Protein backbone atom coordinates (compact mmCIF):
# COMPACT_ATOMS: atom_id res chain seq x y z
CA UNK A 1 0.00 0.00 0.00
CA UNK A 2 1.27 3.42 -0.93
CA UNK A 3 -0.18 6.84 -0.32
CA UNK A 4 0.33 9.04 -3.37
CA UNK A 5 0.09 12.79 -3.12
CA UNK A 6 -1.16 14.92 -5.97
CA UNK A 7 -2.05 18.50 -6.76
CA UNK A 8 -4.76 19.71 -9.13
CA UNK A 9 -5.82 23.10 -10.40
CA UNK A 10 -8.99 24.48 -11.96
CA UNK A 11 -10.28 27.91 -12.78
CA UNK A 12 -13.70 29.12 -13.85
CA UNK A 13 -15.38 32.03 -15.55
CA UNK A 14 -18.82 32.17 -14.02
CA UNK A 15 -21.80 34.02 -15.57
CA UNK A 16 -24.03 35.95 -13.15
CA UNK A 17 -27.70 35.26 -13.87
CA UNK A 18 -29.27 33.62 -16.88
CA UNK A 19 -30.89 34.28 -20.23
CA UNK A 20 -34.33 32.71 -20.46
CA UNK A 21 -36.83 35.17 -21.88
CA UNK A 22 -35.27 38.09 -20.01
CA UNK A 23 -34.13 38.14 -16.39
CA UNK A 24 -35.96 40.73 -14.25
CA UNK A 25 -36.39 41.28 -10.52
CA UNK A 26 -38.47 43.89 -8.77
CA UNK A 27 -38.38 45.62 -5.38
CA UNK A 28 -40.82 47.88 -3.56
CA UNK A 29 -39.72 50.23 -0.79
CA UNK A 30 -41.85 52.28 1.55
CA UNK A 31 -41.41 54.09 4.83
CA UNK A 32 -43.49 53.87 7.93
CA UNK A 33 -44.28 57.14 9.74
CA UNK A 34 -41.40 56.57 12.18
CA UNK A 35 -38.93 56.77 9.32
CA UNK A 36 -38.13 53.10 9.15
CA UNK A 37 -38.24 51.39 5.77
CA UNK A 38 -39.71 48.13 4.55
CA UNK A 39 -38.39 46.45 1.43
CA UNK A 40 -40.81 44.02 -0.21
CA UNK A 41 -39.25 41.29 -2.35
CA UNK A 42 -40.34 37.92 -3.65
CA UNK A 43 -36.73 36.85 -3.80
CA UNK A 44 -36.07 33.97 -1.46
CA UNK A 45 -33.44 33.88 1.27
CA UNK A 46 -32.68 30.24 2.02
CA UNK A 47 -29.67 31.03 4.14
CA UNK A 48 -27.40 32.53 1.51
CA UNK A 49 -27.88 36.06 2.83
CA UNK A 50 -30.30 37.75 0.45
CA UNK A 51 -32.04 39.56 3.30
CA UNK A 52 -28.78 40.84 4.78
CA UNK A 53 -27.34 42.03 1.49
CA UNK A 54 -30.49 43.76 0.22
CA UNK A 55 -30.89 45.35 3.65
CA UNK A 56 -27.37 46.78 3.44
CA UNK A 57 -27.91 47.97 -0.14
CA UNK A 58 -31.22 49.64 0.77
CA UNK A 59 -29.80 51.35 3.86
CA UNK A 60 -26.78 52.63 1.95
CA UNK A 61 -28.93 54.00 -0.87
CA UNK A 62 -31.57 55.51 1.37
CA UNK A 63 -28.95 56.98 3.70
CA UNK A 64 -30.43 55.47 6.84
CA UNK A 65 -28.97 53.08 9.46
CA UNK A 66 -29.19 49.42 8.52
CA UNK A 67 -31.24 48.88 11.69
CA UNK A 68 -33.98 51.06 10.18
CA UNK A 69 -34.53 48.73 7.23
CA UNK A 70 -36.68 45.61 7.28
CA UNK A 71 -36.60 43.23 4.33
CA UNK A 72 -39.66 41.08 3.73
CA UNK A 73 -39.12 38.23 1.31
CA UNK A 74 -42.10 36.26 2.41
CA UNK A 75 -44.63 35.90 -0.33
CA UNK A 76 -44.54 35.66 -4.11
CA UNK A 77 -48.35 36.13 -4.18
CA UNK A 78 -48.23 39.59 -2.68
CA UNK A 79 -44.64 40.68 -3.32
CA UNK A 80 -43.23 42.21 -6.49
CA UNK A 81 -42.02 39.77 -9.11
CA UNK A 82 -38.66 38.03 -8.94
CA UNK A 83 -37.33 35.29 -11.21
CA UNK A 84 -35.91 33.50 -8.18
CA UNK A 85 -32.84 32.64 -6.16
CA UNK A 86 -30.69 30.70 -8.62
CA UNK A 87 -27.89 31.19 -11.14
CA UNK A 88 -26.07 33.40 -8.61
CA UNK A 89 -28.37 36.23 -9.71
CA UNK A 90 -29.74 37.47 -6.37
CA UNK A 91 -27.20 40.06 -5.31
CA UNK A 92 -26.83 41.43 -8.83
CA UNK A 93 -30.43 41.51 -10.10
CA UNK A 94 -32.30 42.09 -6.85
CA UNK A 95 -29.64 44.41 -5.45
CA UNK A 96 -29.95 46.62 -8.51
CA UNK A 97 -33.75 46.65 -8.27
CA UNK A 98 -33.49 47.65 -4.60
CA UNK A 99 -31.20 50.55 -5.52
CA UNK A 100 -33.71 51.86 -8.08
CA UNK A 101 -36.58 51.63 -5.60
CA UNK A 102 -34.59 53.12 -2.72
CA UNK A 103 -33.41 56.05 -4.85
CA UNK A 104 -37.01 56.96 -5.66
CA UNK A 105 -38.01 56.78 -1.99
CA UNK A 106 -34.92 58.72 -0.92
CA UNK A 107 -35.75 61.55 -3.35
CA UNK A 108 -39.23 61.91 -1.83
CA UNK A 109 -37.80 61.82 1.70
CA UNK A 110 -35.30 64.55 0.79
CA UNK A 111 -38.04 66.69 -0.82
CA UNK A 112 -40.02 66.48 2.40
CA UNK A 113 -36.93 67.36 4.42
CA UNK A 114 -36.19 70.29 2.09
CA UNK A 115 -39.67 71.66 2.57
CA UNK A 116 -39.36 71.38 6.35
CA UNK A 117 -35.91 73.02 6.37
CA UNK A 118 -36.88 75.56 3.70
CA UNK A 119 -33.91 74.68 1.51
CA UNK A 120 -33.34 73.08 -1.88
CA UNK A 121 -33.46 69.27 -1.83
CA UNK A 122 -30.36 69.16 -4.06
CA UNK A 123 -28.36 70.72 -1.21
CA UNK A 124 -29.25 68.00 1.31
CA UNK A 125 -27.24 64.98 2.30
CA UNK A 126 -27.71 62.06 4.66
CA UNK A 127 -25.23 60.98 7.33
CA UNK A 128 -26.25 57.31 7.35
CA UNK A 129 -27.14 57.61 11.04
CA UNK A 130 -30.70 58.82 10.58
CA UNK A 131 -30.10 62.51 9.91
CA UNK A 132 -30.56 64.70 6.85
CA UNK A 133 -28.66 67.96 6.84
CA UNK A 134 -27.74 70.87 4.64
CA UNK A 135 -24.44 70.24 2.89
CA UNK A 136 -21.79 72.24 4.76
CA UNK A 137 -24.16 73.15 7.58
CA UNK A 138 -24.71 70.09 9.78
CA UNK A 139 -26.80 72.06 12.29
CA UNK A 140 -29.51 72.64 9.66
CA UNK A 141 -30.79 69.10 10.00
CA UNK A 142 -33.86 66.94 10.39
CA UNK A 143 -34.08 63.25 11.23
CA UNK A 144 -35.19 60.80 8.57
CA UNK A 145 -38.07 59.91 10.89
CA UNK A 146 -39.26 63.52 11.08
CA UNK A 147 -38.92 63.92 7.33
CA UNK A 148 -41.01 60.81 6.68
CA UNK A 149 -43.63 61.98 9.20
CA UNK A 150 -43.79 65.38 7.53
CA UNK A 151 -44.26 63.74 4.13
CA UNK A 152 -47.15 61.69 5.37
CA UNK A 153 -48.92 64.02 7.82
CA UNK A 154 -48.27 67.45 6.30
CA UNK A 155 -47.42 67.03 2.64
CA UNK A 156 -49.63 64.07 1.85
CA UNK A 157 -46.91 62.09 0.11
CA UNK A 158 -45.82 58.47 0.28
CA UNK A 159 -42.11 57.98 0.86
CA UNK A 160 -41.97 55.00 -1.44
CA UNK A 161 -40.21 53.67 -4.48
CA UNK A 162 -40.55 51.03 -7.18
CA UNK A 163 -37.56 49.30 -8.68
CA UNK A 164 -36.94 46.83 -11.43
CA UNK A 165 -33.73 45.56 -12.92
CA UNK A 166 -33.85 43.66 -16.18
CA UNK A 167 -31.24 41.93 -18.24
CA UNK A 168 -33.19 41.59 -21.50
CA UNK A 169 -33.29 38.40 -23.51
CA UNK A 170 -30.28 38.11 -25.77
CA UNK A 171 -31.29 36.51 -29.06
CA UNK A 172 -28.84 34.22 -30.76
CA UNK A 173 -27.24 35.74 -33.85
CA UNK A 174 -28.36 33.28 -36.56
CA UNK A 175 -25.25 33.67 -38.69
CA UNK A 176 -22.60 33.39 -36.00
CA UNK A 177 -24.36 31.82 -33.03
CA UNK A 178 -23.17 34.71 -30.92
CA UNK A 179 -25.16 36.02 -28.00
CA UNK A 180 -24.68 38.03 -24.82
CA UNK A 181 -26.42 35.93 -22.20
CA UNK A 182 -25.25 37.85 -19.15
CA UNK A 183 -23.70 41.21 -18.34
CA UNK A 184 -20.93 40.22 -15.97
CA UNK A 185 -18.82 37.28 -14.89
CA UNK A 186 -17.24 36.24 -11.62
CA UNK A 187 -14.04 34.21 -11.54
CA UNK A 188 -12.25 31.70 -9.39
CA UNK A 189 -9.09 29.61 -9.29
CA UNK A 190 -8.56 26.72 -6.93
CA UNK A 191 -5.77 24.32 -6.02
CA UNK A 192 -6.53 21.00 -4.33
CA UNK A 193 -3.95 18.80 -2.64
CA UNK A 194 -5.02 15.19 -2.25
CA UNK A 195 -3.80 11.85 -1.01
CA UNK A 196 -4.77 8.69 -2.89
CA UNK A 197 -4.41 5.27 -1.32
CA UNK A 198 -3.57 2.83 -4.12
CA UNK A 199 -4.73 -0.16 -2.11
CA UNK A 200 -8.18 1.10 -1.12
CA UNK A 201 -8.74 3.71 -3.83
CA UNK A 202 -9.71 6.26 -1.22
CA UNK A 203 -9.11 9.93 -1.94
CA UNK A 204 -8.55 12.40 0.91
CA UNK A 205 -8.39 16.13 0.30
CA UNK A 206 -5.69 17.58 2.53
CA UNK A 207 -5.74 21.24 1.65
CA UNK A 208 -7.66 23.59 -0.59
CA UNK A 209 -6.34 27.01 -1.61
CA UNK A 210 -8.57 29.28 -3.60
CA UNK A 211 -9.04 32.78 -4.93
CA UNK A 212 -12.52 34.02 -5.77
CA UNK A 213 -13.18 37.26 -7.63
CA UNK A 214 -16.68 38.35 -6.68
CA UNK A 215 -16.96 41.98 -7.70
CA UNK A 216 -17.54 43.85 -4.45
CA UNK A 217 -17.87 41.68 -1.35
CA UNK A 218 -20.86 43.59 -0.03
CA UNK A 219 -20.91 41.52 3.14
CA UNK A 220 -17.45 39.94 3.43
CA UNK A 221 -18.39 37.49 6.19
CA UNK A 222 -21.36 36.23 4.21
CA UNK A 223 -19.17 35.85 1.12
CA UNK A 224 -16.62 33.86 3.10
CA UNK A 225 -19.39 31.72 4.57
CA UNK A 226 -20.74 30.99 1.10
CA UNK A 227 -17.31 30.09 -0.23
CA UNK A 228 -16.40 27.79 2.67
CA UNK A 229 -19.76 26.04 2.60
CA UNK A 230 -20.04 25.89 -1.17
CA UNK A 231 -16.55 24.50 -1.67
CA UNK A 232 -17.32 21.80 0.87
CA UNK A 233 -20.47 20.93 -1.06
CA UNK A 234 -18.38 20.71 -4.23
CA UNK A 235 -15.86 18.49 -2.44
CA UNK A 236 -18.72 16.29 -1.34
CA UNK A 237 -20.03 16.01 -4.91
CA UNK A 238 -16.52 15.31 -6.17
CA UNK A 239 -15.86 12.40 -3.83
CA UNK A 240 -19.01 11.12 -2.20
CA UNK A 241 -22.50 12.08 -3.27
CA UNK A 242 -24.42 10.46 -6.08
CA UNK A 243 -27.93 9.31 -6.80
CA UNK A 244 -26.54 6.82 -9.28
CA UNK A 245 -26.65 3.19 -8.25
CA UNK A 246 -23.41 1.39 -7.89
CA UNK A 247 -24.74 -2.16 -8.33
CA UNK A 248 -26.32 -3.39 -10.48
CA UNK A 249 -28.82 -0.92 -11.92
CA UNK A 250 -30.84 2.21 -11.23
CA UNK A 251 -33.48 0.48 -9.13
CA UNK A 252 -30.80 -0.04 -6.51
CA UNK A 253 -30.11 3.69 -6.27
CA UNK A 254 -29.96 5.43 -2.92
CA UNK A 255 -33.25 6.67 -1.50
CA UNK A 256 -32.12 7.86 1.94
CA UNK A 257 -29.14 8.79 4.07
CA UNK A 258 -28.35 5.17 4.86
CA UNK A 259 -27.42 4.73 1.20
CA UNK A 260 -26.58 8.24 0.01
CA UNK A 261 -23.10 9.12 1.18
CA UNK A 262 -23.30 12.41 3.00
CA UNK A 263 -20.00 13.09 4.70
CA UNK A 264 -19.74 14.71 8.08
CA UNK A 265 -17.52 17.17 9.93
CA UNK A 266 -14.67 14.67 10.02
CA UNK A 267 -14.39 14.66 6.22
CA UNK A 268 -13.69 18.33 5.54
CA UNK A 269 -10.48 19.77 4.16
CA UNK A 270 -8.64 22.82 5.34
CA UNK A 271 -9.52 25.66 2.97
CA UNK A 272 -7.72 28.99 2.72
CA UNK A 273 -9.47 31.62 0.63
CA UNK A 274 -8.43 34.89 -0.93
CA UNK A 275 -11.35 37.12 -1.88
CA UNK A 276 -10.53 39.46 -4.74
CA UNK A 277 -12.69 42.48 -5.44
CA UNK A 278 -13.03 43.89 -8.94
CA UNK A 279 -16.32 45.76 -8.78
CA UNK A 280 -18.66 45.11 -11.69
CA UNK A 281 -19.68 48.33 -13.49
CA UNK A 282 -23.34 47.27 -13.56
CA UNK A 283 -23.39 45.53 -10.17
CA UNK A 284 -25.02 46.98 -7.04
CA UNK A 285 -22.07 48.79 -5.44
CA UNK A 286 -19.99 46.58 -7.73
CA UNK A 287 -21.31 43.28 -6.39
CA UNK A 288 -21.60 40.17 -8.56
CA UNK A 289 -22.44 37.14 -6.43
CA UNK A 290 -20.49 34.11 -5.18
CA UNK A 291 -23.56 31.86 -5.49
CA UNK A 292 -23.08 28.59 -7.26
CA UNK A 293 -19.58 29.44 -8.34
CA UNK A 294 -18.25 28.50 -4.91
CA UNK A 295 -19.05 24.83 -5.50
CA UNK A 296 -17.72 24.51 -9.04
CA UNK A 297 -13.93 24.72 -9.36
CA UNK A 298 -13.15 22.22 -6.61
CA UNK A 299 -14.60 19.32 -8.59
CA UNK A 300 -12.27 19.51 -11.61
CA UNK A 301 -9.40 20.50 -9.30
CA UNK A 302 -9.82 17.28 -7.28
CA UNK A 303 -10.16 15.21 -10.46
CA UNK A 304 -6.93 16.76 -11.73
CA UNK A 305 -5.23 16.13 -8.39
CA UNK A 306 -6.19 12.46 -8.49
CA UNK A 307 -4.75 12.22 -12.01
CA UNK A 308 -1.59 13.91 -10.80
CA UNK A 309 -1.33 11.53 -7.83
CA UNK A 310 -1.90 8.15 -9.49
CA UNK A 311 -2.44 8.76 -13.21
CA UNK A 312 -6.11 7.77 -13.13
CA UNK A 313 -8.41 10.06 -15.12
CA UNK A 314 -11.92 9.76 -13.64
CA UNK A 315 -14.45 11.41 -15.96
CA UNK A 316 -17.68 10.84 -14.03
CA UNK A 317 -18.30 12.12 -10.53
CA UNK A 318 -18.11 11.17 -7.77
CA UNK A 319 -14.57 9.85 -7.70
CA UNK A 320 -15.33 6.74 -5.68
CA UNK A 321 -12.72 4.25 -4.45
CA UNK A 322 -14.15 1.77 -6.95
CA UNK A 323 -13.48 4.05 -9.92
CA UNK A 324 -9.96 4.79 -8.71
CA UNK A 325 -9.20 1.09 -8.23
CA UNK A 326 -10.60 0.22 -11.67
CA UNK A 327 -8.43 2.94 -13.17
CA UNK A 328 -5.35 1.69 -11.32
CA UNK A 329 -6.04 -1.85 -12.54
CA UNK A 330 -6.47 -0.68 -16.15
CA UNK A 331 -3.21 1.24 -15.93
CA UNK A 332 -1.35 -1.64 -14.33
CA UNK A 333 -0.76 0.33 -11.13
CA UNK A 334 -0.20 3.87 -9.98
CA UNK A 335 1.52 6.24 -12.38
CA UNK A 336 2.28 9.30 -10.29
CA UNK A 337 2.66 12.50 -12.28
CA UNK A 338 5.28 15.17 -11.66
CA UNK A 339 5.07 16.96 -8.31
CA UNK A 340 3.94 20.50 -8.77
CA UNK B 1 -54.35 2.42 18.55
CA UNK B 2 -54.21 2.52 22.29
CA UNK B 3 -53.17 5.71 23.99
CA UNK B 4 -50.91 5.78 26.98
CA UNK B 5 -50.20 8.57 29.43
CA UNK B 6 -46.65 9.88 29.35
CA UNK B 7 -45.03 12.21 31.85
CA UNK B 8 -41.60 13.70 31.45
CA UNK B 9 -39.72 16.94 31.97
CA UNK B 10 -39.10 19.06 28.86
CA UNK B 11 -36.51 21.78 29.35
CA UNK B 12 -37.29 21.73 33.07
CA UNK B 13 -41.08 21.88 32.76
CA UNK B 14 -43.38 18.98 33.59
CA UNK B 15 -45.26 17.63 30.58
CA UNK B 16 -48.11 15.15 30.61
CA UNK B 17 -49.52 13.92 27.32
CA UNK B 18 -51.25 10.91 25.87
CA UNK B 19 -49.23 9.11 23.23
CA UNK B 20 -50.06 6.32 20.86
CA UNK B 21 -48.33 2.98 21.22
CA UNK B 22 -45.12 3.05 19.30
CA UNK B 23 -45.02 6.82 18.87
CA UNK B 24 -41.54 8.20 18.59
CA UNK B 25 -40.28 11.03 20.77
CA UNK B 26 -39.83 13.43 17.85
CA UNK B 27 -43.49 13.21 16.85
CA UNK B 28 -44.58 13.60 20.46
CA UNK B 29 -42.43 16.71 20.89
CA UNK B 30 -43.60 18.29 17.65
CA UNK B 31 -47.26 17.23 17.52
CA UNK B 32 -48.37 16.65 21.11
CA UNK B 33 -46.17 19.08 23.03
CA UNK B 34 -45.71 21.70 20.31
CA UNK B 35 -41.92 22.03 20.58
CA UNK B 36 -40.89 22.39 16.94
CA UNK B 37 -37.18 22.95 17.54
CA UNK B 38 -36.19 19.33 16.96
CA UNK B 39 -36.33 18.82 13.18
CA UNK B 40 -37.54 15.86 11.20
CA UNK B 41 -34.78 15.42 8.64
CA UNK B 42 -34.54 11.80 7.57
CA UNK B 43 -36.62 10.06 10.28
CA UNK B 44 -34.20 7.15 10.27
CA UNK B 45 -31.30 8.29 12.42
CA UNK B 46 -29.05 9.40 9.59
CA UNK B 47 -28.96 13.17 9.83
CA UNK B 48 -29.01 14.26 13.49
CA UNK B 49 -31.45 17.12 12.96
CA UNK B 50 -33.75 15.67 15.63
CA UNK B 51 -31.03 15.39 18.29
CA UNK B 52 -32.27 16.04 21.85
CA UNK B 53 -30.74 15.38 25.23
CA UNK B 54 -32.31 12.64 27.30
CA UNK B 55 -31.04 12.90 30.87
CA UNK B 56 -28.18 14.93 29.40
CA UNK B 57 -27.19 12.34 26.81
CA UNK B 58 -27.68 13.21 23.13
CA UNK B 59 -30.16 10.97 21.38
CA UNK B 60 -32.01 10.80 18.11
CA UNK B 61 -35.60 11.59 18.99
CA UNK B 62 -36.86 10.08 15.71
CA UNK B 63 -35.56 6.67 16.80
CA UNK B 64 -36.52 6.98 20.46
CA UNK B 65 -39.72 5.31 21.57
CA UNK B 66 -41.62 8.04 23.37
CA UNK B 67 -42.60 5.74 26.23
CA UNK B 68 -38.95 5.31 27.15
CA UNK B 69 -38.68 8.90 28.39
CA UNK B 70 -41.31 8.34 31.09
CA UNK B 71 -40.10 10.18 34.19
CA UNK B 72 -36.95 11.39 32.48
CA UNK B 73 -35.65 14.81 31.43
CA UNK B 74 -35.59 15.86 27.80
CA UNK B 75 -33.79 18.99 26.61
CA UNK B 76 -34.28 20.57 23.19
CA UNK B 77 -32.99 23.73 21.55
CA UNK B 78 -36.32 25.21 22.65
CA UNK B 79 -34.86 25.36 26.15
CA UNK B 80 -32.08 27.70 25.08
CA UNK B 81 -32.73 31.39 25.70
CA UNK B 82 -34.98 33.02 23.14
CA UNK B 83 -32.74 36.06 22.95
CA UNK B 84 -29.78 33.98 21.81
CA UNK B 85 -27.70 34.82 24.86
CA UNK B 86 -26.37 31.34 25.55
CA UNK B 87 -22.61 31.22 24.85
CA UNK B 88 -23.11 28.56 22.18
CA UNK B 89 -25.81 30.59 20.46
CA UNK B 90 -23.61 33.67 20.54
CA UNK B 91 -20.65 31.73 19.14
CA UNK B 92 -22.81 30.21 16.39
CA UNK B 93 -23.89 33.70 15.37
CA UNK B 94 -20.39 35.17 15.57
CA UNK B 95 -18.99 32.40 13.37
CA UNK B 96 -21.90 32.39 10.87
CA UNK B 97 -22.44 28.75 11.81
CA UNK B 98 -25.94 28.60 10.32
CA UNK B 99 -27.22 29.22 6.84
CA UNK B 100 -30.59 27.55 6.20
CA UNK B 101 -30.66 26.63 9.89
CA UNK B 102 -32.31 23.23 9.60
CA UNK B 103 -29.42 21.34 11.23
CA UNK B 104 -28.75 24.04 13.82
CA UNK B 105 -30.96 22.82 16.70
CA UNK B 106 -29.44 19.36 16.47
CA UNK B 107 -25.93 20.81 16.26
CA UNK B 108 -26.60 22.97 19.32
CA UNK B 109 -27.82 20.01 21.34
CA UNK B 110 -24.90 17.79 20.32
CA UNK B 111 -22.51 20.59 21.24
CA UNK B 112 -24.31 21.26 24.52
CA UNK B 113 -23.90 17.62 25.55
CA UNK B 114 -20.21 17.65 24.64
CA UNK B 115 -19.49 20.80 26.63
CA UNK B 116 -21.40 19.48 29.65
CA UNK B 117 -19.34 16.31 29.74
CA UNK B 118 -16.06 17.77 28.41
CA UNK B 119 -15.83 21.49 29.17
CA UNK B 120 -12.60 21.99 27.18
CA UNK B 121 -12.74 19.64 24.21
CA UNK B 122 -10.07 19.70 21.52
CA UNK B 123 -10.86 19.82 17.81
CA UNK B 124 -10.98 16.04 17.40
CA UNK B 125 -13.44 15.75 20.27
CA UNK B 126 -15.65 18.46 18.76
CA UNK B 127 -15.59 16.77 15.34
CA UNK B 128 -16.41 13.43 16.94
CA UNK B 129 -19.30 14.91 18.93
CA UNK B 130 -20.80 16.52 15.83
CA UNK B 131 -20.16 13.58 13.53
CA UNK B 132 -23.75 12.32 13.77
CA UNK B 133 -25.12 15.62 12.49
CA UNK B 134 -24.97 16.52 8.83
CA UNK B 135 -25.08 20.00 7.36
CA UNK B 136 -25.58 20.94 3.72
CA UNK B 137 -24.69 24.63 3.84
CA UNK B 138 -21.82 25.58 6.11
CA UNK B 139 -19.06 23.09 5.37
CA UNK B 140 -18.96 22.36 9.14
CA UNK B 141 -15.90 24.51 9.74
CA UNK B 142 -17.87 27.49 11.14
CA UNK B 143 -19.76 25.13 13.47
CA UNK B 144 -16.56 23.49 14.69
CA UNK B 145 -15.00 26.92 15.20
CA UNK B 146 -18.02 28.12 17.19
CA UNK B 147 -17.91 25.14 19.55
CA UNK B 148 -14.14 25.47 19.95
CA UNK B 149 -14.54 29.13 20.85
CA UNK B 150 -16.89 28.28 23.71
CA UNK B 151 -14.58 25.43 24.69
CA UNK B 152 -11.64 27.79 24.83
CA UNK B 153 -13.38 30.69 26.54
CA UNK B 154 -13.70 29.16 29.94
CA UNK B 155 -15.38 26.12 28.58
CA UNK B 156 -18.82 24.63 28.65
CA UNK B 157 -20.85 23.37 31.54
CA UNK B 158 -21.61 26.89 32.73
CA UNK B 159 -25.06 27.32 31.22
Instruction: Provide the residue ranges of all domains of chain B, joining segments of one domain with +.
Output: 3-78, 87-152
Q: How far apart are CA B21 and CA B16, in angstroms?
A: 15
Residue B148 clears pLDDT 60, i.e. is over it: yes
pLDDT computed for residue A46 by the predictor: 87
Q: Rounded to an integer, what distance in angstroms lies between the CA atom of residue A290 and that of residue A87?
A: 10
Least confident of A134-138, A213-217, B117-121, B153-157: B153-157
Mean pLDDT of A203-227: 95
Model confidence at B67, pLDDT cuts 50, 70, 90, reads: very high
For residue B136, give how far its alpha carbon lies from the nearest alpha carbon of chain A (Å): 7
CATH superfamily of domain region B87-152:
[2Fe-2S]-binding domain (1.10.150.120)
Host H or E run for residue A3? strand A3-15
pLDDT band at B49 (very low <50, low <70, confident <90, very high): very high
Q: For residue B145, give the chain A residue with the closest CA.
A: A265
A190 within some domain: yes
Task: Check: CB of residue A37 under 8 Å from CB of residue A68.
Answer: yes
Q: How many separate domains does chain A show?
A: 2
Which residues from chain A sit within 8 angstroms of residue B100, using beta carbons? 46-47
Angstrom distance (rounded) from CA A213 to CA A216:
9
Q: Cβ contact (<8 Å) for B141 and A230?
A: no
Query: pLDDT tens for residues A36-47?
Result: 999 999 998 988
Q: Is A276 among the domain residues?
A: yes
Residues A154, A98 within the same domain: yes
Q: What is the distance between the alpha carbons of residues B51 and B58, in angstroms, rounded to a whole number?
A: 6
- A291 touching B, CB under 8 A? no
Average pLDDT, chain B: 94
Residues in contact with B34: Cβ distance below 8 Å, sequence separation at least 6, in sequence order: none
Q: Are residues A145 and A44 in the same domain?
A: yes
pLDDT of residue A145 exceeding 50, the answer is yes
> Are A204 and A237 found together in one domain?
yes
**CB nearest B144 (choices: A222, A230, A265):** A265
Q: Kindly state the percentage of chain A with pLDDT values over 90.
A: 81
How much is the mean pLDDT over chain A? 93
Q: Which CATH number fits domain B3-78: 3.10.20.30, 3.30.420.40, 3.40.50.300, 3.30.379.10?
A: 3.10.20.30
Residues A93 and A163 in one domain: yes
Q: How confident is the model at residue A1 (pLDDT cuts 50, 70, 90)?
A: confident
A208 in a structural domain: yes
The pLDDT of residue A132 is 97
Which chain B residue shows the shortest CA-CA distance from A266?
B127
Confidence of residue A21 (pLDDT cuts 50, 70, 90): confident
Q: CB distance A265–B127 less than 8 Å?
A: yes
Asked if the C-beta of A265 comes within 8 angstroms of chain B's C-beta atoms, the answer is yes
**Do A276 and A143 share a structural domain?**
no
Instruction: Say whether A47 and B47 touch across the interface (CB within 8 A).
Output: no
> Same domain for A159 and A191?
no
- State whether A246 and A115 are in the same domain: no
Chain A residue closest to B104 (CA)? A47
Assign B157 a pLDDT band (cuts: 50, 70, 90).
Answer: very low
pLDDT digits (tens, 9 = 90+) for A278-326: 999 999 999 998 888 999 999 999 999 999 999 999 999 999 999 999 9
Q: Contact B138/A257, CB-based, under 8 Å? A: no
**The pLDDT value given to residue A331:** 97
- Hey, do B3-78 and B87-152 end up sharing a CATH topology, with the first three levels equal? no
Indicate left, alpha or beta for B140 from its phi (over 0: left) and psi (-120 to 50: alpha): left
Among chain A residues, CA nearest to B133: A264
Tell me whether B138 touches chain A (CB under 8 Å): yes
The domain boundary residue, chosen from A167, A195, A226:
A167
Same domain, A234 and A326: yes
- Interhelix angle B141-152/A220-239, nearest 10 degrees: 120
Q: Is B44 on the interface with A (CB under 8 A)?
A: yes
Tens-digit pLDDT profile for residues A147-191: 999 999 999 999 999 999 999 999 999 999 998 888 899 999 999
Q: Which residues of A touch B99 (CB under 8 A)?
A: 46-48, 225, 229
| Structural domain span for residue A192 | 3-15+185-331
* DSSP code of residue A251: G
A273 shares contact with chain B (CB less than 8 Å): no
Assigned domain for A269 exists: yes
pLDDT of residue A100: 98
SS3 content of chain A, % helix, strand, coil (to 5): 35, 25, 40
pLDDT, mean of residues A46-70: 95
Which among B42, B96, B141 is the nearest to A257, CB-wise?
B42
Does A201 lie in the same domain as A322? yes
- Do residues A45 and A162 share a domain? yes
Flag whether A255 is in a domain.
Answer: yes
Of B46, B96, B140, the CB nearest to A265: B140
A211 shares its domain with A93:
no
Cross-chain Cβ contact B140/A264 below 8 Å: yes
Whether B159 shows a pLDDT value over 60: the answer reads no
Identity of the residue in A229, A258, A262 whose CB atom sits nearest the CB atom of B134: A262
Q: Mean of the pLDDT values across residues A112-129?
A: 96
Q: Are A117 and A211 within one domain?
A: no
Where residue A230 sits, what CATH number does that domain have?
A: 3.30.365.10
State residue B156's pLDDT score: 55
- Dist. CA A337–CA A306, nearest whole Å: 10
Average pLDDT value for residue range A331-339: 93
Does B145 score more than 60 pLDDT? yes
Residue B155 has a pLDDT of 60
How confident is the model at residue A249, as a pLDDT? 77
Q: In this predicted complex, what is the ipTM? A: 0.89
| Contact residues, chain A, for B106 at CB < 8 Å | none
pLDDT at B154: 62
Domain-located, residue A57: yes
Amino acid sequence: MTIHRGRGFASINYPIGMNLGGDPSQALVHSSPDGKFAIALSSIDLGQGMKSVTRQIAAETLGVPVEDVYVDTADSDTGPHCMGSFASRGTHRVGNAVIVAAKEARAIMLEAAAEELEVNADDLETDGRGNIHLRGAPDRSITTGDACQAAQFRHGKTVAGRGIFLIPLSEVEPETGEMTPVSCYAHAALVADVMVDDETGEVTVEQVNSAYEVGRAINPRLVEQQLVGGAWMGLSHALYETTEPRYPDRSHGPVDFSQYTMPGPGDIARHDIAILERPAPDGPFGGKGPGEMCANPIMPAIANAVFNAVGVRVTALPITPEKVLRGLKANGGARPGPRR
Amino acid sequence: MAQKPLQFRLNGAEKAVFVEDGANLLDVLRRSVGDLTAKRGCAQGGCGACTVLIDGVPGLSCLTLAETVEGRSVATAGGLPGDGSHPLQEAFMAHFAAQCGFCTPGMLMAATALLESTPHPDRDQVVHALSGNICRCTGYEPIIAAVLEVAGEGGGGRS
